[in-house]
Amino acid sequence: MLLAFCCNSHGRLTYGSKTFGCRRVVKIARVSCRAEQSVATQRWKKVYLGTSPLIGFELVDEVIPGALQLHHFIALKSDSNQFWILDFVPLNPTSPLTAITLASGGTATGQIRSKLMPRLTSGRTITLREIGELALSEGQEVESFIESFNRSWNIQLKLFSNDCTHYCNTLLPILTGKNGAITSDV
């Protein structure tokens, strides 16, 4: 389960030796505290690009498979076969107001999600494609790098200029050492 607020009772988030105000953490990178705590113990090896239906349109994809496979995400696979999922979505992805705003060329506040999953398999609603080996070193460095990257990401989501595809196209070459737009042929 993703947590929008990762704060203690004093309205502060303590992460390692750093303490942040909740507003800063929530605004910069809305991530799961549980995933942050567990990710550091994994040895990440492989990098995948995933596609799935837009949030709220999963049933449409069941009726017309592949019709709405428009959402891109990154999956890192550990040597223990766990997956760390990273994606960028609107803060309120099923809101009609969000849909209208984005469809009319406007911006909506986004969130970077981070989730540790025991397994992830390709199927009718999720497609995974291996991009390559992780080019960064293992453990804490990977976690710290992604945390820093997510903090620097502009969370004002705008279709066709700063959306999930752009998030993946920016982060994947850094993670794998491969140049170029990776999501263009998905």
Q: If you write DSSP's letter for every residue of 33-99 in order, what string do you get?
A: HHHHHHHTTS-EEEEEEEEEPPTT-HHHHHHSTTTT--EEEEEEEETTS-EEEEEEEESSTT-HHHH
**Residue 149 covered by a domain:** yes
Q: Is residue 20 part of a domain?
A: no
Residue 90 has pLDDT above 70, yes or no: yes
Asked whether residue 4 is domain-assigned, the answer is no
Please report whether residue 49 resides in a domain.
yes
Residue 3 in any domain: the answer is no
Between residues 62 and 166, the one the model is more confident about: 166
Question: Is the pLDDT score of 100 beyond 90?
Answer: yes
pLDDT of 127 over the 60 cut: yes
The rounded percent of the chain whose pLDDT value lies above 70 is 70
Q: Is 159 part of any domain?
A: yes
Instruction: Please count the structural domains in the chain.
Output: 1
Domain range for 128: 30-185
